[in-house]
């Protein structure tokens, strides 16, 4: 083979190799593009069932003090970087940053038709205290809507318009959704009707620091939800509604990729009750609960931090009747795993009052299954009690005094001693004068003498649970006695 032929062959081989690489790159690119979801059919089928909801108000609605308290709470947790919640602004009379009307007394949001006879789902905060509600369909027809029922705790409302043969969405299920799934929202951001935005689920079971929202375990997404999207649907790739867009975290008033939707399983329960009765009944068990950190897990002999730690049992409540006790760690409710305390109110709220359900707890390190008849949340105030509280600890370096009978009666305590001073282990456990210690390491204390008798028997070098009443709320601390 001569040199000229060898060079030509090498060039031909190089060209073939480059051509093959180019073809493979194109095929790979096309394959990746084909793997991305195509939302066109989903939008064409469902957009006709999405509506714009606009409202007017007779006067400024809401309580400015409530909003101020929420903003103070966010500043407490986040400081100068406190995010803004896309919630109703009573000063403006508008929906969570929704598009204001020309007179400043109106707002706009989104909704979707669930029944061809004219039933529509939206957010409670979109229509709360509205004087008039106007629904605009995809074909630009307008109807004045009436409120069938509205529920503040879940932020859901059902409207009715006088129309027939309307397109309706299909409701899916949210229980088995997974982080990373593609989702799509259709709504009216800033009053722009039928705008579409896609993204993925970024977290499941998000709890938010808003009043009543502990009965909703939110779907968090990175979909570009903006003011005006509130009340609109969140779809899965099958074209089923799996959530209702409700809130956003924002520093600017626009989307920063943190949006929250109400799971459709919650919505189906609430909507059915609103359509039937105009009101919603929720389950209630009558306990104060706290999260379980590593120290508390060690103190209560858990294999890992999980569950909801019971730090208060309301007298006369369903939990007391079922035998649930302070210091129990609830790990499962009605067949649902309780990961943190935020899971429990959500699962309890889904159960119809009067239903008997299994409750799995860990007591003194041993699993135990109890049966509880779920109460009605609306009846909780009849007992003159509040729910959730927080956490605490005690022993060496602790001086206490007897609890006077009047205070014991006012707080409805069966036991307790008052902390006079702290040092050493008690101080490290964050106990403080004025605390009322109800129990230490599971043993109730009724006098300083009982503490003196118990102290030598306490194990050392491991966290010990201490049940404390502080500011009229029961909470657990942990104290560790050094060897």
pLDDT at 296: 86
Domain 390-480: which CATH number of 2.40.160.60, 3.40.50.1000, 2.30.42.60, 1.10.357.10: 2.30.42.60
Q: Where are the alpha helices (DSSP H) in 264-401?
A: 264-277, 294-299, 318-322, 343-349
Angstrom distance (rounded) from CA 327 to CA 312 = 8
Give me the CATH topology for the region 35-280: Thrombin, subunit H (2.40.10)
Question: What value does the CA radius of gyration of the chain take, rounded to a whole number of Å?
Answer: 29
- Residue located via tokens 């189906």: 268
| CA atoms within 13 A of residue 243's CA, in its CB half-sphere | 35
Q: Residue 101: pLDDT band by 50, 70, 90 thresholds?
A: very low
The full DSSP string for 159-201 is EE-S--S----EE---TT--TT-EEEEEE-GGG-TTEEEEEEE
Spell out the domain ranges in the chain.
35-280, 283-383, 390-480
As a whole number, the mean pLDDT across the chain is 81
Angstrom distance (rounded) from CA 250 to CA 432 = 38
**Both structure tokens of 71:** 């903003």
Q: Domain 283-383, what architecture?
A: Roll (2.30)
Backbone region of residue 61 per phi and psi (left: phi > 0; alpha: psi in -120 to 50; beta: other values): beta
Tens-digit pLDDT profile for residues 152-180: 889 999 999 999 999 999 999 998 999 99
- Whether the full predicted model's pTM is greater than 0.75, yes or no, is no
Q: Residue 312: pLDDT band by 50, 70, 90 thresholds?
A: confident
Q: Which residue numbers are catalytic?
A: 125, 155, 230
- Provide mean pLDDT across the span 307-311: 89
Angstrom distance (rounded) from CA 51 to CA 127 = 14
Q: Residue 388: pLDDT band by 50, 70, 90 thresholds?
A: very low
Q: Where are the alpha helices (DSSP H) in 199-308?
A: 264-277, 294-299
Do 35-280 and 390-480 fold alike per CATH?
Answer: no
Angstrom distance (rounded) from CA 8 to CA 374 = 86
**Both structure tokens of 200:** 């993925």
């Amino acid at each position: 083979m001569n040199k000229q032929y060898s060079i030509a062959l090498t060039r031909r081989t190089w060209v073939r190799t480059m051509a093959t690489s180019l073809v493979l790159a194109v095929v790979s690119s096309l394959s990746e593009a084909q793997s991305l979801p195509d939302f066109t059919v989903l939008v064409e089928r469902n957009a006709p069932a999405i509506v714009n909801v606009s409202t007017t108000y007779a006067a400024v609605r809401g309580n400015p003090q409530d909003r101020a308290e929420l903003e103070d709470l966010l500043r407490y947790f986040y400081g100068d970087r406190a995010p803004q919640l896309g919630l109703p602004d009573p000063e403006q009379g508008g929906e969570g940053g929704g598009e204001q009307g020309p007179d400043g007394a109106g707002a706009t949001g989104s909704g979707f038709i669930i029944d061809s006879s004219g039933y529509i789902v939206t957010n409670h905060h979109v229509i709360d205290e509205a004087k008039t509600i106007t629904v605009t369909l995809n074909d630009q027809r307008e109807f004045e809507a009436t409120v069938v029922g509205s529920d503040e705790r879940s932020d859901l409302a059902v409207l009715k318009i006088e129309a027939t043969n309307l397109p309706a969405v299909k409701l899916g299920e949210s229980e088995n959704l997974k982080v990373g799934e593609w989702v799509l929202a259709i709504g009216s951001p800033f009053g722009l009707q039928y705008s579409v935005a896609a993204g993925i689920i970024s977290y499941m079971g998000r709890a938010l620091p808003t009043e009543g929202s502990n009965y909703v375990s939110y779907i968090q997404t990175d979909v570009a939800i903006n003011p005006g999207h509130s009340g609109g649907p969140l779809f899965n790739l099958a074209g089923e509604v799996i959530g209702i867009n409700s809130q956003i975290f924002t520093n600017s008033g626009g989307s920063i990729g943190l949006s929250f939707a109400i799971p459709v399983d919650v919505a189906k329960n609430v909507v059915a009750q609103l359509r039937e009765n105009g009101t919603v009944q929720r389950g209630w068990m009558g306990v104060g609960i706290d999260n379980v950190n590593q120290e508390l897990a060690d103190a209560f002999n858990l294999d890992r931090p999980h569950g909801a730690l019971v730090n208060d049992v309301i007298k006369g409540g369903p939990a007391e009747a079922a035998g649930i006790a302070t210091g129990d760690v609830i790990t499962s409710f009605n067949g649902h795993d309780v990961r943190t305390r935020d899971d429990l109110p959500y699962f309890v709220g889904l159960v119809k009052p009067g239903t008997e359900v299994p409750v799995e707890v860990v007591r003194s390190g041993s699993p135990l299954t109890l049966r509880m008849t779920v109460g009605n949340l609306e009846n909780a105030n009849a007992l003159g009690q509040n729910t959730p509280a927080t956490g605490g600890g005690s022993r060496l370096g602790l001086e206490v005094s007897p609890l006077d009978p009047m205070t014991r009666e006012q707080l409805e305590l069966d036991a307790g001693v008052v902390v006079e001073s702290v040092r050493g282990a008690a101080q490290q456990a964050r106990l403080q004068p004025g605390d009322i210690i109800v129990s230490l390491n599971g043993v109730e204390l009724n006098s300083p003498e009982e503490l003196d008798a118990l102290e030598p028997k306490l194990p050392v070098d491991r966290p010990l649970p201490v049940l404390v009443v502080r500011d009229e709320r029961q909470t657990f601390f942990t104290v560790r006695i050094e060897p």
